[in-house]
Chain A
């Protein structure tokens, strides 16, 4: 089943090309959209919401064409923008109820859904207070709640972890994962950190400069790029030579060595090698892939 699909989608502004012949398909579940600032993530979301006309190409959301059926799409999708969008003198309840009504819910249903959804995103007594006094974490939760209040089939979350502290970030990511699994709502979530999306997504799309860099299931993604960082006190080169002799692929990166993990046995090999050479091991860390790593690799999608 395809949730959304684009076909040669381009969008040119007078001075920049935001999207350049982008062709992707997205299935149900949680999909990450990764790219640096200005990569075209927000432009893509605006086109998918039917708010921006593509210059060229076509896109479908839930089987509906974005140019012809924008209004129908907007009935069944939710959108959480990247920027602040909360009036400070309203309470979270008033705000969410109002936006539920704007999505076409009758008055009583809007109240019930707003209360339900605010509870699900983790806002309790504070939802009756004016939003001006909320922390960033609470504001992000309200923004998420208004995107979910009309029970959409698909939500677009634009940088939901922006400005959150590590704990808030973890909670937000866990919540997004729950939306995709427990709530049964498909999610397209953008971020410029691949690392955080790795943990919650089924599928990741990487774009840069409006073009597709790669699009693959998260399992393939981590398999092909898994490395382990090894740092020893002295004798980095000795260890590198030893490991290379054992058939491992090793690259030196500053004070550390990057060892490609072919199979779980690689960890044992590294451990044994350090022991055999009698070196002091400082750390051995699962290579966390970052967006930059993807950019460094050739775009062999």
Chain B
């Protein structure tokens, strides 16, 4: 930025560090295309989700929730070190911590989309090389990456802890890898649904409320229906009822269905055709959310 190049000897008596108004300067440096610009947007959004590059008060909630997510992992390592026995498993981590994941999603998904809609920043993006779909893709990728990190960091910490403590018997590498595959699916499903719901209102508070309400509704209905079905001894129907909760859905579809882990729900999941159905429902929900986003942004862009 300095107008004086460091090697230039300053003239005798002239103060070094004078600001010269050298007028307007043209830029003839490199210009990247859509790809790097979209990546920059995704990284910018991902940092923002965790409150980085934002005021201190924006950091409180994400850091608090990240801390809470780490707690079971840290306690488990301590218990492993002292009592030499395992506590939390890998595949059940997301299910146990589902409320924290849901609160994080509800609190941060609206941040990714609402301000640009509310303060009408979108036209400024669209007047640049990035397209509408680059924009939506970057926002989704950032939220999915945030959800993945939120889940994968404590799981990885737990796994490293297990290897360092060196319990008798081999480490549960299979469980860890299964939980990582699960984490990818959790991240994609939750981010798509969360961002899609949040995009329908330019008000952040309303977006937070909508996402959390949707989670409470799904988990409440799932628990109540499953309990009722179990009370009339219809265990097949109860197994299906668990799938209403998105956290059990991914567990049933991926961790249990594909990788054969132990179910983390209080009951069992449907088997056989049920696994295929769970996978289809999961992919269907993702597709539905993306379609909703496409429709929403078509409308927003034409404003």
Contacts and interface: CB of A to CB of B under 8 A. Distances in A.
A237 interface: no
A71 B32 contact: no
Interface in B26-61: 26-27, 29-34, 36-37, 40-41, 44, 53-55
A85 B121 contact: yes
| Interface size class of chain B, counting residues whose CB lies under 8 Å from the partner chain | 35 or more
Nearest to A108: B29
B23 A102 contact: no
A184 B27 CA distance: 12
A68 B52 CA distance: 39
A71 B26 contact: no
Contacts of A84: 119-120
A141 interface: no
A146 B127 CA distance: 11
B11 interface: no
Contacts of A102: 37, 40-41, 124-125, 128-130
B115 A49 contact: no
B24 A182 contact: yes
Interface string A137-169: 000000000100011000000000000000000
Nearest to A183: B24
Interface string B125-154: 111111100000000000000000000000
Contact of A81 (B29, B54, B124, B131): B124
A195 interface: no
Contact of A85 (B23, B33, B120): B120
Contacts of A182: 23-24
Contact of B1 (A86, A106, A112, A183): A112
Contacts, number: 95
Contacts of B44: 98, 101
B31 to A, nearest CB: 4
B36 A146 contact: no
A86 B119 contact: yes
B24 A120 contact: yes
A112 B29 CA distance: 12
A94 B58 CA distance: 16
A98 B41 CA distance: 8
A170 interface: no
A104 B33 contact: yes
Contacts of A86: 119, 121
B180 to A, nearest CB: 31
A99 B36 CA distance: 13
Contact of A104 (B1, B31, B120, B301): B31
A88 interface: yes
B18 to A, nearest CB: 15
Nearest to A178: B24
Interface centre among A77, A85, A109 (most CB of B within 10 A): A85
B299 interface: no
A51 B126 contact: yes
B25 interface: yes
B123 interface: yes
Given A49-B126, A86-B121, A104-B36, 18 more contacts: A51-B126, A75-B31, A75-B129, A79-B123, A81-B120, A86-B119, A102-B124, A102-B125, A102-B129, A102-B130, A109-B29, A109-B30, A113-B27, A115-B1, A151-B27, A182-B24, A184-B24, A184-B26
Ordered nearest first, which 9 A-B pairs have the shortest CB separation?
Answer: A79-B127, A151-B27, A104-B31, A183-B24, A104-B32, A87-B119, A101-B40, A102-B128, A85-B120
